Amino acid sequence: MKVNQVARKNLQWLWLAVLVIVLDLSSKAFVSANMFLGQSIDVLPFFSWTLAHNYGAAFSFLHDAGGWQRWFFGGIALVVSVGIVFWLTKLPEKGARFLACALVLVLGGALGNLYDRVTLGYVVDFIHVHYGSWHFPAFNIADSGITVGAIMLIIDSLFFEKAREKQREAANV
């Protein structure tokens, strides 16, 4: 298969990134329209919907830095997104489905949160997991896509990359 055909085939995975973005933005819009900032609705004893605005990065890192972090983290998300699309075009034809899936989950999450940063100046978070007095910081579907994608990237590098290397070596012999 020609290089352009392989790149095009790998870019077909972008539908998953679009799905993450649509689910993320629609859920944030729904929660923002139906809850007030700081409101918490218990769903289960360990799970709540809690509307929060995150002006920083993960776990509100740099949330009170004065506003420059909006553009800094937005720039990082944009650079990472371009890099992921480029990486997708360079994946081998075979043996990279898991990696492609991981990459587009990260891409969808990065773009979902980037949209919030650019249009709102903060990221809307609303999923809140807790137990007793322990509380995990609120997050959203984009954050979930990034986290699952990152875990999959680690798994891929530990278990699947070596197999792809062997396939490339065998093809070059």
pLDDT along the chain (173 residues), means of 10: 64 92 98 96 95 74 54 81 90 82 96 92 94 91 96 93 76 66
Q: Provide the pLDDT for residue 65.
A: 47
- Reply yes or no on whether 42 is catalytic: no
- Does an H or E element contain 93, and which? none
Cα(81)–Cα(35) distance, integer angstroms: 31
- Reply yes or no on whether 125 is catalytic: yes
Token pair of 90 as six digits = 């360079």
Q: Provide the pLDDT for residue 160.
A: 85
Choosing from 24, 42, 116, 143, the catalytic residue is 143
Q: Provide the pLDDT for residue 145.
A: 97
Choosing from 42, 64, 116, 125, the catalytic residue is 125
Q: Scanning the structure block, which residue is given the tokens 């909006």?
A: 70
Cα(53)–Cα(158) distance, integer angstroms: 35
- DSSP percent split of the chain into helix, strand, coil, nearest 5: 65, 15, 20
